[in-house]
Structure 1
Amino acid sequence: MPKPNKLLIVLAFFSIYVIWGSTYVLNKTAVAELPPFMLAAIRFLTAGVLIFIIAAVTGQNLKISRKQLINTGIAGFLFLAFGNGIVVWALKFVDSGFAALEISAQPLVILLLMWLIQGKKIKPMSLIGVFLGIIGIYLLVNQRQVLNQDDSYIGIIMIFFCMISWAYGSIFVGKADMPSNYFVNTGYQMITGGCMLVLLSLIFNEEWSSPLVWSPNVQLSMILLIIFGSIVAFTSFNYLLKMVSPEKVATNTYVNPIIALFLGWYFLDETVTLQSIIAAVILLSGVYFINTSKRKVMLNRFGLQQIQNKLRKNKVQ
């Protein structure tokens, strides 16, 4: 594993915190005019092709092993084809800020999956976080303004399954044999995920259209999604999954909902209810407890390691 670069890690976290927070509004703007799977397919295929062109021009090796190709395909499905494509589709039924708040429970889902799959014990602080997270989700979805929207329950349920897909993908990528170059790794995931989305679009008989006939707002949204939401932020995401733990990467859910709520209110006139704010505070408090517990475990281990090193050094002396 390459040595972590503190500056790159900070910039990568900024990308997944701020840029991804804005993608909810961009996707909501675009999906109002374009079919969801077509939208996501064009976004990721274009981003993947651009990544490969940049990599080739800069002399990076695009060759990967068969196992790595399979793993990037799995990640492309978990993160992009299902994890993102279905979220874009769900935005036809729920507000962008609501979707971001629901997805903020992702650290809770990762924690539960790590317990189920890896047998990792849940610490007392994390149990508090799980309890708060459940309360927060209940308050979020149990709102008259939400339930009265046409087919809103479909969007709520599908976003939940997307969280499971992203959570499992985060655990999978952290352990799987992936291309060592994070830029190339992102490119392969974009291409494989984009191809799967094309198939989904054809299965659902979506009507494709030329970007030339899209409205200026949709054209701008797509450009921003491709360059920043896909290439910059997703490369940062893959980099962080190898540099830090999946739970830390999932802390982008602290900031994403706040940015999404504000932008949805400012640009799309989405309603931000008092109950949504209360739900956000409780839900994000739960996420905080989960990640605080993880940080304490890591600090304790680090401190123990320092003591052990000092004892060995004194013994040698």
Structure 2
Amino acid sequence: MPLSEKSKAFIAVGLVSFFWGTTYLGIRIGVKYMPGLQLTAIRQFTAGAMVVGWFLAKGHRMPSPGELWKLAVMGLLLLGVGNGLLSWGEQYIPSGLAAIIAALSPLAIALFSMLLLKGTRLTPRILAGLLLGLAGVIVIFYNRIKSPAGNTFLPGIALCLLAVTGWGWGSVFIARHKLKLDVLYATGWQMLLAGILLFPASYLSGQAVPLQEIAVNGWMAVLYLIFFGSLVGYVAYVYALSKLPPTRVSIYAYINPIVAILLGWQVLDESLSLSMAAGSAVALAGIYLVNSGFKKQIAAKK
């Protein structure tokens, strides 16, 4: 029996939940050999060129100028700001901590949903969730910021929080601006255009090194991120967004940090602490309240 569209969408969410959890480790390894923006530019441009090239070879039409503009905005917000700044941030903080901040993306999605999508409003439950999410981040980073090495953490925290903002805005932008293109083809264009925009940005910001200076381990990390982060993970994410509400897709945010923290601990010897566990639990509780609050609004509309 063929799977329904809804079943395929939930499978896609499962793929995102696992493979994106592993990409934080891949990024952390990759930024040891090249800056985060350059890593993201290479990753997204290559993955996008592969997907777009495949669809063009099959005879798909070029997007119209209006569609290209929307695809560029989606790519810039989700991948240029969201993924690019997160990768840059991992130059300063461990992969598990970056994953915890990235887990706040449902909170950003909730805020932009209220601003940009009709029929969504701030309720006491959603407000409590937003405040809990922010409190969780404070608990996680309070002791680290106070430590002598705290100043090195601040740029990473700021970059990852900006990345979350871009990701939330981009996710809602996709939900609001449906395109008459195959969803995977559109995803390929988002990756390709984001990569094109990130190359000059990486050089202008000093976030680039000569390609010949990148070690083999760096290229291996890039290859992993291209195939499992972009071709599998991001394609699955955009497909799920096209079939399910953004707040339902954001369930991956509960699983990504667990995968990332365990891998960072096992592979890179990243520390686990009581404050990190407590802050993570508080942040995830906030995400749950936000998601459940939006689900009630969606159910009330039906």
Name the residue aligned to 2:191. 190
Name the residue aligned to 2:175. 174
Name the residue aligned to 2:39. 39
Label 1:155 to 1:133 Cα distance change in 2 as closer, same or farther (>3 A). same
Contact kept in structure 1, 2:125 and 2:290, CA below 8 Å: yes
How far off is 1:112 after superposition? 2.1
State how far apart, in whole Å, the 1-side matches of 2:186 and 2:146 are: 38
How far off is 1:156 after superposition? 0.6
State how far apart, in whole Å, the 1-side matches of 2:240 and 2:187 are: 12
Name the residue aligned to 2:75. 76
Deviations 1:165-209 (A, max 9, x none): 111111111111435211111111111100111011221342221
Contact kept in structure 2, 1:68 and 1:177, CA below 8 Å: no
Contact kept in structure 2, 1:62 and 1:184, CA below 8 Å: no
Contact kept in structure 2, 1:84 and 1:162, CA below 8 Å: yes
Label 1:226 to 1:32 Cα distance change in 2 as closer, same or farther (>3 A). same
Name the residue aligned to 2:104. 105
How far off is 1:139 after superposition? 0.5
State how far apart, in whole Å, the 1-side matches of 2:173 and 2:167 are: 10
1:46 counterpart letter in structure 2: T
1:51 counterpart letter in structure 2: V
Label 1:152 to 1:56 Cα distance change in 2 as closer, same or farther (>3 A). same
How far off is 1:108 after superposition? 1.5
How far off is 1:77 after superposition? 0.7
1:246 aligns with 2:262: no
State how far apart, in whole Å, the 2-side matches of 1:201 and 1:127 are: 37
Gaps of 5+ in 1: 303-317
Gaps of 5+ in 2: none
State how far apart, in whole Å, the 2-side matches of 1:286 and 1:97 are: 18
Most deviating of 59-68 and 195-204: 59-68
Name the residue aligned to 1:306. none
How far off is 1:16 after superposition? 1.4
Name the residue aligned to 1:208. 210
Most deviating of 45-54 and 25-34: 45-54
Aligned counterparts, 1:271-290, within 5 A: 271-290=271-290
State how far apart, in whole Å, the 2-side matches of 1:26 and 1:60 are: 34
State how far apart, in whole Å, the 2-side matches of 1:157 and 1:109 are: 15
Name the residue aligned to 1:293. 293
Most deviating of 5-14 and 117-126: 117-126
Aligned counterparts, 1:24-173, within 5 A: 24-57=24-57, 59-118=58-117, 120-144=120-144, 147-149=147-149, 150-173=151-174
How far off is 1:146 after superposition? 7.5
Q: Provide the identity percentage.
A: 27
1:18 aligns with 2:11: no
SS at match of 2:251: helix
Deviations 1:38-64 (A, max 9, x none): 21111111101111233244x251421
Aligned residues: 297
How far off is 1:115 after superposition? 2.8
State how far apart, in whole Å, the 2-side matches of 1:296 and 1:116 are: 18
Contact kept in structure 1, 2:24 and 2:95, CA below 8 Å: yes
How far off is 1:224 after superposition? 1.5
Instruction: Give the structure-1-normalised TM-score.
Output: 0.87
Label 1:148 to 1:19 Cα distance change in 2 as closer, same or farther (>3 A). farther
Whose radius of gyration is greater, 1 or 2? 1
Contact kept in structure 1, 2:71 and 2:189, CA below 8 Å: yes
Contact kept in structure 2, 1:146 and 1:152, CA below 8 Å: no
Label 1:146 to 1:159 Cα distance change in 2 as closer, same or farther (>3 A). farther
Label 1:200 to 1:66 Cα distance change in 2 as closer, same or farther (>3 A). same
Contact kept in structure 1, 2:183 and 2:242, CA below 8 Å: no
State how far apart, in whole Å, the 2-side matches of 1:146 and 1:79 are: 32
SS at match of 1:260: helix
State how far apart, in whole Å, the 2-side matches of 1:7 and 1:24 are: 27
Contact kept in structure 1, 2:145 and 2:154, CA below 8 Å: no
Name the residue aligned to 1:310. none
State how far apart, in whole Å, the 1-side matches of 2:84 and 2:26 are: 14
Most deviating of 242-251 and 140-149: 140-149
